[in-house]
Amino acid sequence: MSDTAEPSIIARVEGAAGTLLMNRPKALNALDLAMIRAFQAALDAWKGDAAVKLVLLEGAGGKAFCAGGDVRGIRQFAIDGDKASVEAFFAEEYAVNAGIARFGKPWLSLMDGVCMGGGIGVAVHNGPRVVTEHALLAMPETAIALFPDVGTSYILPRIQGEIGTWLALTGARFKGADAVHAGLASHYVLRESLPELRDALLGGDATVVEHFAAPLPEASFHPHRAAIARCFGHDSMAEIMAALAAEGTEWAAEQTKILRRMSPTSLCVSLELIRRGAGATLDECLEMELALTRSVVHDHPDFREGVRAVLVDKGNPPAQWTPATIEAVDPAAIAALFSIS
Ligand code: QUE
């Protein structure tokens, strides 16, 4: 699906910068395979090009940086039994994530607007990672029965105080300032400063971003830091649900309600993945994630149902999960999803 005759990624060399504009604004710049291939082509072209001192990544349209991957398309491949297309999408997407991490030059993302899932994957593995007051970051995969991928199984367990576990399981929305406090972003810049920042970056020196940083507001999750650490440090969903129940606060009740809407299988898979990711390298995490896509997308009904409910039918009717509750998830079934590859 393309919005116009324009390319979905506009890649140019401007001054000493390679610039990449994700340009599918009607789809909130969600990544399809053509875009992923354009990212790989830019990585290949610019990595060894001494005239390109840094890469500047932006989203078109003013509303989104990038809403994620083209999960509607992946769902259709899964329904059609087209395993090769699903494999190509995730394998090539994760190769781009790894390529950004080892690009060897600054890969500077301007996150102004929605940035979820696959959008986080093209932003956080290098830097500087700039957010504005209009940035909204989330890992919402448990709502569609996926799991935190694009290398976030490496990033999230390294955030202090179980903030990453909380983010992955509940799909909590981070404002720009929250993302900086959590370490997902590195610099907080006001939207009104972006044109001037952009101009300065075309000079090829990424450190100029320091001059544009605005005072950082307090994290919106600050009042809940202790409760997040208490409740989300457990290694099973049953323990996390029990810990939230024991809190007896409005906040904890809200978290419980949110978690009860997510795919129970996906919650258990995501928690296990984050725990395994804590002791793994980025490349090992990406490999683990790719192996999981093979089982989760094809062998389990929840992914198709989750994308249907959230993105195709927009919540009407809500998702029907298999099994329907966290309590009914068989640990052996979760282990099996990890061992198939
Ligand atoms: C979980 C996700 C995604 C999501 C919603 C979730 C995701 C994704 C999109 C999305 C949103 C708007 C679009 C679009 C895709 O939403 O990965 O094409 O226009 O890409 O709850 O993982």
Local structure of residue 321 (DSSP, 8 states) = -
- DSSP code string of 125-185: TSS-EEE-TT-EEE--GGGGT--S-TTHHHHGGGSGGGHHHHHHHH-PPEEHHHHHHHTS-
Provide the Cα torsion 25, 28, 32, 35; round to 10°: 50
Look up 127 and say whether it is catalytic: no
Give me the catalytic one of 141, 178, 272, 305: 141
Look up 183 and say whether it is catalytic: no
> pLDDT digit string (tens) for 268-327?
999 999 999 999 999 999 999 999 999 999 999 999 999 999 999 999 999 999 999 999
User: Residues lining ligand 1, CB < 6 A?
Assistant: 27-28, 30, 67-69, 71, 116-117, 140-141, 143-144, 146, 310-311
Whether the CA torsion 47, 52, 57, 61 is positive or negative: it is negative
CATH architecture entry for 1-341: Alpha-Beta Complex (3.90)
Give me the catalytic one of 99, 117, 118, 171: 118
3-class secondary structure, 273: helix
* pTM for this predicted structure: 0.96
Contact between residue 28 and residue 72 where contact means Cβ atoms under 8 Å apart:
no
Look up 118 and say whether it is catalytic: yes
> pLDDT digit string (tens) for 193-230?
999 999 999 999 999 999 999 999 999 999 999 999 99
Look up 176 and say whether it is catalytic: no
Kindly give the number of the ligand 1 atom that is closest to the alpha carbon of 28.
Answer: 19
| Domains in the chain: boundaries | 1-341
Contact between residue 58 and residue 12 where contact means Cβ atoms under 8 Å apart:
no
Whether the CA torsion 42, 285, 272, 232 is positive or negative: it is negative
